[in-house]
Amino acid sequence: MGQVISLDMDDTGRPAPICILVPLAAALLVAACGRAPEDPLAGLAEGERGRVVRVIDGDALVLSTGQNVRLIGIEAPAGPDRDREGDHGFEESKRALEEMALGREVELRYGGLTRDHYERALAHVVTTDTLAPPLWLNAEMIRRGAARVRVYPDTAAANDLLLPMEREAREAKTGLWKDPAWRVTDAAGLPDSFQGFQMVEAVTAGMQGSDIRGVSCEVMLDRSLLVLEIETGAAELCRLDPETRIRARGHVRNLRMEINHSLNLEILENP
């Protein structure tokens, strides 16, 4: 049995602390949930409430108040825009969020910056009604293989909890992870023309300082032309040793990937 996330309601209608069940004997599960487990979103500011009236894509929705919301900590395939085709998996990802959220009452939880330059709310989103089991939507999109983790420095609260869920979904080939187009790519095999969000694995081959504004250093990769731009928000990664196996995630443009938070680069064990 995999990890089960349950968001129960208290007497006020707000989500009670989240109980995480692990594969133990039934009696131990009941005992574990009888205690008051920590809410992984505890400490985040409670934001607006509203009903989800539209899902734009797998990480964006609209509330009945008119507020557009961007789910933080995740990156879903983008839809078509003007002369650009939608990303691979867009329809599947959007449908997953629609099935969980459309028509439901939700509450926003803020973990840093609350608005982007489009005036979208940047939030974790939790369902609060009784139409179906309560859900932490950001986490469910990861757990169901309908989105990948992507961390920004100013909205990083609770994002670290999403990485194990992503790993479990990836290893089980859940949702979009069963599609070869979503596989984690060997950096050496990334096409020179690739543009967009990607996850790659590689071995570091060297490092140098950078004169690019906001970039602390540049990391070269073995057998690959891809360069990792380590931004100031992840400057501690500039201490990486050579020949370190890594998994990196970020936006790629002109064979350069931005790494703006340390959670976007995982250190892997040697095979």
- pTM score: 0.85
* Residue that is last in its domain, among 136, 155, 176: 176
197/271: higher pLDDT:
197
- Tell whether 60 and 167 lie within a shared domain: yes
Percent of the chain with pLDDT over 70: 86
Contacts of 234 (CB under 8 A, 6+ apart): 153, 216, 259, 260, 261, 262, 264, 265
Chain segment 69-91, per-residue pLDDT in tens:
999 999 999 888 877 787 889 99
- Tell whether 155 and 205 lie within a shared domain: no
Tokens of 225: 């032309």
Q: How confident is the model at residue 199 (pLDDT cuts 50, 70, 90)?
A: very high
pLDDT at 220 over 50: yes
pLDDT value of position 27: 33
Chain segment 26-61, per-residue pLDDT in tens:
333 333 344 445 788 989 999 999 999 999 999 999
Mean pLDDT score of the chain: 88
pLDDT at 17 over 90: no
pLDDT value of position 34: 46
Q: Report the CATH number at residue 151.
A: 2.40.50.90
Number of domains composing the chain: 3
- The residue behind tokens 């909205």 is 155
- Among 4-13, 37-46, 234-243, the range scoring the smallest mean pLDDT is 4-13
Domain assignment present for residue 40? The answer is no
- Tell whether 115 and 25 lie within a shared domain: no
- Tell whether 220 and 261 lie within a shared domain: yes
* Residue that is last in its domain, among 176, 196, 231: 176
- Tell whether 113 and 195 lie within a shared domain: no
- Angstrom distance (rounded) from CA 67 to CA 61: 9
Residue-range definition of the domain harbouring residue 27: 4-34
Chain segment 241-267, per-residue pLDDT in tens:
999 999 999 999 999 999 999 999 999
Q: Report the CATH number at residue 251.
A: 2.40.50.140
- Tell whether 82 and 119 lie within a shared domain: yes
- Tell whether 239 and 132 lie within a shared domain: no
- Tell whether 13 and 74 lie within a shared domain: no
Percent helix / strand / coil, the chain, rounded to 5? 25, 35, 40
Domain assignment present for residue 244? The answer is yes
* Residue that is last in its domain, among 146, 176, 206: 176
Domain assignment present for residue 53? The answer is yes
- Tell whether 54 and 108 lie within a shared domain: yes
- Tell whether 49 and 161 lie within a shared domain: yes
Domain assignment present for residue 39? The answer is no
Domain assignment present for residue 21? The answer is yes
Terminal-to-terminal C-alpha distance of the chain? 27
